[in-house]
Structure 1
């Protein structure tokens, strides 16, 4: 799953950041999707395979078929879950086209929901795609505003106004309510920090009041990264004192649960394997360049590129620059 550990202006800044990536494509290319076709169940377009970067992950917000869940076929949709599902697949733009991702989502919705629900969900996706596309010109317009203490708030309010053009108030709350709560809290804290009329004691008092007013889910999300940091500090101390993998597993399982301990262990194994692969690559690269010491720069570059293609996937190759000398 793709979640940021920090939640400062999460929804707003992330939306604009994501909007600036694939919505840079020409409007005609984005509109190349035939919405009448993709909104019609049973489209004959072939559904593309999932992006490689999603391999080994579980979709956020995966809908449940009414026949399996016991929900009536016309039950209200979980709009928050649908948005997470949309974002999960849209995060792969660049690997796949918008049209391919749309077909993947529509196929999933048709398989998981009743015909009535699937059509409503696909209509929601169409509006969501249009909304995200319109974020780019909005950001271009807002970027011309001189930086000041109210700039972020102006952008936040402008984005809310744009949402209102595509979604009802209830849809906005269901899809963006938690993000907006994060953003509003961050803006309030920024206002307190930047207020020269407040003494340090007054600032601490007002910040404490914001802490107390946080919704439970936001409070838990804010505490979660701190809990992980504290746990990993304990893990480091345990390993320094001679604790092995079994002891570390028990510590993590006690702090969270066995499923989380399994994920930590899997991540450590993946990181160790990646480190070994990088070390092997750098060693082979050095030997290769040594043999090509008299070659031209373009020949050396081509040889390194061929080595990278042999050892790494396309997504992995994008990370290599951080490790090369």
Structure 2
């Protein structure tokens, strides 16, 4: 996805889950990796996705892939946007087969790229899928071994594996921002764990480390602070009886109008889900037969798998 501000409520990347547990607040910034893949909420109808079946359309309803993939003449422009575009479609894993997802990606690419660019992008997709499969077999450091050094070694192992599937220029163009961010996280953890530093020295080292980042990655580091501030202000405002318009005003002031609209859309989506759950639970207590009918009409097969938590 593009690097414009996206407010997440769930589905964070798991690659550093063990490190997050070990250094909690110190690594909070990881919640918004440069390759964040949460779909952008949009005002378009589901038809903008050109989805071939209803289940896929419903999965991405109200969202669209963003980012620019093509240069002048519809040639492929190698950048992290291409990986984010792949990941947008790959969020449907488990709901669609890999062949279906690959076909959807190919159709998406064909709308923006010329034939040469499409073929190049599809070759990169195949390499990326093989890399992700191999990545699943990579050993994870043990919790008690978490350190800046262990983190750096783990990232090196990932890069060595990646080099088996991509050319050098592709790695720099597609993953350069992620590599810089990973290096930052490993060095940050080393500074946080350095007991020889005074609080003032530690703060100075962290500031120096952050200042060395590209503006894009520096924004990713600072975004979680904004998110925490927003969540606290929203909660306080609701306790004081704020209206929906008041909440939107707070959001707009802190994260901008576009992100505020996306949050508002998420609110509507969450409210609609809760209402469907309410109807289903009520029917289960009064009319089990009707509950089964509601289960079939209100929820997709994928959503029905989640209903066990409410039964």
Segments of structure 2 that go 5 or more residues without pairing to the other structure are 18-50
The equivalent residue for 2:122 is 122
Name the structure 1 match of 2:300: 313
What's 1:152 paired with? 151
Aligned positions, number: 269
CA 1:61–1:314: 2 relative to 1, 3 Å: farther
- In the TM superposition, residue 203 of structure 1 has moved relative to its aligned partner by 3.0
After superposition, residues 192-207 of structure 1 pair within 5 angstroms as 192-207=191-206
Q: Distance in 2 between matches of 1:55 and 1:86?
A: 18
CA contact (8 A) 2:141 2:150 kept: no
Per the alignment, residue 53 of structure 1 pairs with 59
Shift of residue 125, structure 1, vs aligned partner: 1.5
Question: What SS is found at the alignment partner of 2:63?
Answer: coil
Q: Gaps spanning 5+ residues in structure 1: where?
A: 15-46, 292-302
Closer, same or farther in 2 for the Cα pair 1:241/1:199, shift >3 Å?
A: closer
Q: Please list, as runs of the form range in 1=range in 2, the aligned pairs for 1:86-165 lying within 5 A after superposition.
A: 86-137=86-137, 139=138, 142-143=139-140, 148=145, 149=147, 150-165=149-164
Change (3 A) 1:223 1:55: same
Residue 117 of structure 1 deviates from its aligned partner by: 1.3
- For residues 90-135 of structure 1, give each alpha carbon's deviation from its aligned partner in whole angstroms, at most 9, with x where no partner exists: 2211111111111222222223211221121122212222222222
The residue number in structure 2 matching 1:262 is: 261
Once residues 256 and 205 of structure 1 are traced to their aligned partners in structure 2, the CA distance between those partners, rounded to angstroms, is 27
* Bigger Rg, structure 1 or 2: 1
Distance in structure 2 (CA, Å) of the matches to 1:48 and 1:180: 36
Could you tell me how far 1:160 is from its partner in structure 2?
A: 0.3
Cα distance in 2 for partners of 1:185, 1:57 equals 31
**Secondary structure in 2 matching 1:160:** helix
1 CA distance for matches of 2:112 and 2:297? Answer: 39
Question: Does the 8 A contact of 1:63 with 1:112 survive in 2?
Answer: yes
Q: Structure 1: how far apart are the matches of 2:273 and 2:135? A: 36
Change (3 A) 1:55 1:245: closer
Aligned-CA RMSD value? 3.4
Q: Tell me the TM-score normalised to structure 1 length.
A: 0.69
- For the 8 Å contact 2:237–2:247, the answer to whether it is kept is yes
Cα gap change, 1:80 to 1:144, in 2 (>3 Å): closer
Q: Distance in 1 between matches of 2:115 and 2:255?
A: 40
Give the drift of 1:221.
Answer: 1.9
| C-alpha distance in 2 between matches for 1:111 and 1:262 | 27
Cα deviation digits, residues 262-302 of structure 1 (max 9, x gap): 3232222222222222223222223357x9xxxxxxxxxxx
Cα offsets for 1:235-263 (capped at 9, x unmatched):
34344444323333333334344333332
Q: Provide the secondary structure at the position in 2 that maps to 1:55.
A: coil
